[in-house]
Amino acid sequence: MRGAKGDIEWFSWRHSIQGIVFCVFPGHRFRLVGDNSEMINLVEEKRSELADLCREHHVRRLELFGSAAAVDSFDPAASDLDFLVEFERTDQMNPAQQYFGLLESLKRLFGREIDLVTVRSLRNPYFIESVNASRESVYAA
């Protein structure tokens, strides 16, 4: 993608290698954002149970975002977890049962506050940009 005047190429790239998150921004070769091992350990320890919950509540995709994924301000003892969820349509549960059932199950699983945002509810372009800057996939059906 080119900048407004067409003379500067703007891009950003984000990748995680063994828990170290690298970001590339315009004008920089790369920037080390942080070590997301605390978040990875927290989720990895519960990966099997998390997958079971996602299947139980008919989740198509679940992603972690915010401080737990970006790591810059994640406090393993006190931070909440922010999840972005996309549900599959099902006759077995209505959307409220899926959402609130998953929300309560995630709170019990991780023993902390959970912010659960549905993909369908995303409207604000600034919030979407913020979510996209830090999101990490934790489950896909």
Tell me the angle at which helices 95-110 and 47-56 cross, rounded to the nearest 10 degrees. 160
Q: How far apart are CA 119 and CA 28, in angstroms?
A: 31
User: Mean per-residue pLDDT for 117-122?
Assistant: 94
- For the chain, domains (ranges, CATH) are 1-35 (no CATH), 36-140 (3.30.460.10)
pTM over 0.85: no
Position 135 scores a pLDDT of 87
pLDDT digits (tens, 9 = 90+) for 34-93: 444 555 577 778 999 999 999 999 999 999 988 777 655 666 677 788 999 999 999 999
118 or 66: which carries more pLDDT confidence?
A: 118
What is the tens place of the pLDDT at every residue in 12-48? 334 443 343 443 334 333 333 344 455 557 777 899 9
Characterize the bridge pairing of strands 136-140 and 81-87.
Answer: unpaired
Condensed to tens digits (0 to 9), the pLDDT of residues 131-140 reads 998 888 999 9
Give the CA radius of gyration of the chain: 17
